[in-house]
Amino acid sequence: MQIGLESWLFAVALGTSLLGGVLGMASGIFIVPILTMFGRIDIHTAIGASLISVIACSCGGAAPFLKERLTNVRLAVLLETATTSGALCGVFLAGLIPTAYLYCIFALILLLSAQQMLSRRKESIVPAGASASSSIGVGAWAALRLDATYPETPEREVRYAVQRLPLGMALMYGAGLISALLGIGSGVLKIPAMDSALRLPIKVSSATSNFMIGVTAAAGAAAYFARGEIVTSVAAPIALGSVLGAVLGARILMRVPNEKLRLMFVGILLLLALQMMFAALGIHLFGAAS
C-alpha cells in the first residue's frame, strides 16, 4: 500500500510539474488540490510537499532554460525584489481584507491578463539585427542591460527589448501581494505581467518565471520545515517526480510554438478565474490552491 501511495505521488508530481514546466507556473496550484481531494492528505502537509515540488521544478528546469538562453537572469533578480516586497506586505495585510473580495479581485485580474495576452497574438518579435529603439533600456535603465536574445529555432536568433520596467515592477509587487493574501503561487500572475507589461516573448516569460518561483518557494519551505510539516514520505516522491516532470516540461516548452503556448496559458487563466469566482461564493471546485 505504501509503495502504491508513493507511486501515485510520483505520478501526480510528474504530470503536474510537466504542465507547470511548460507554462512556467508553480506546480503547487495543481498539486495541493489533488493531494487534499484525492489523496486525503492534510492541507499543511500538502502545501509543504508542494513547496518542495516548486523548488524541484525550478531547479530541474533551470539548466535547460539557461542552456538555451531563455532565462533572463538579470531581469529575474530585479523583479524578485518587487515580488518579495509585495509578499511581505501581503503577510501583514492578511486577514484585514475579506477573502471573498480578494477572490473577486483575483478573478478580474486573471480575466484581464487573459485578454491582454490574447491581444498580443499578432505582435511580431523584433529580429536580431533590428533596431532596439522601443526598449526602455535608455538613460538610467541602460546600465541594467536587461535586453537580450534567444534562439527561437536553431536557425533563427531573435532579440527582445524589456519595456515599461516601472509598470512591470509595480505588477510584480501586486503579484507578490495577491499571492501572499490568497496563499497561491505567483507564477500565474508573473507571466501575464512579463508578457503584457514588459513585452517579453512568452517562452522567455515562462523560463524567467520558473527561475523566480524557486527563490520564493525556498523561503516558505524553510518555515514549513521548521514547523515539522515537511513529511519525507510524501515530499520525497513528489520531489523526484517534479524534477523529471520539470526537465521534460522544459524540453517541450523549447519546441512548442509561441502562439500555442500563449493559448495554453490563457486556457489555464480562464479556468482559474472560474474557480476564483466560485470561491468568492463559497464554492471550491478544486480545493485550495497554492
242 pLDDT above the threshold of 90? no
Contact 213, 183 (CB under 8 A): no
Question: In Å, how far are 33, 255, 275, 281, 289 from 285, measured between CA atoms?
Answer: 9, 32, 6, 11, 11
Predicted confidence (pLDDT) per residue in 247-266, tens digit: 888 888 777 777 777 787 78
CA angle 280, 269, 158 (to 5 degrees): 155
Element counts in the chain: helices (H) and strands (E): 10, 2
Give the DSSP H/E element, type plus range, for residue 81.
helix 73-93
CA distance 50 to 202: 25
Residue 287 confidence (pLDDT): 47
pTM, two decimals, is 0.72
Task: Average the pLDDT over each of 123-137, 149-163, 230-244 and give the range with the smallest value.
Answer: 123-137
CA distance 209 to 217: 12
> CB-based contacts of 286: which residues, under 8 Å, 6+ apart?
33, 37, 275
Question: In Å, how far are 67, 82, 105, 195 from 53, measured between CA atoms?
Answer: 22, 23, 27, 25
Mean pLDDT of 75-97: 82
Burial string for 155-181 (b: 16+ CB within 10 Å, else e) reads: eeebbbbbbebeebbebbbbbbbbbbb
21 pLDDT above the threshold of 60? yes
CA distance 211 to 68: 14
Q: Which among 283, 289, 286, 280 has a CA at the least distance from the CA of 107?
A: 280
Mean pLDDT of 20-24: 72
232 pLDDT above the threshold of 80? yes
CA distance 183 to 177: 10
Contact 22, 253 (CB under 8 A): yes
CA distance 186 to 290: 9
The maximal CA–CA distance of the chain, rounded, in angstroms, is 63
**CA atoms 35, 244, 110, 80: torsion sign:** positive
170 pLDDT above the threshold of 90? yes
Query: pLDDT band at residue 218, thresholds of 50, 70 and 90?
Result: confident
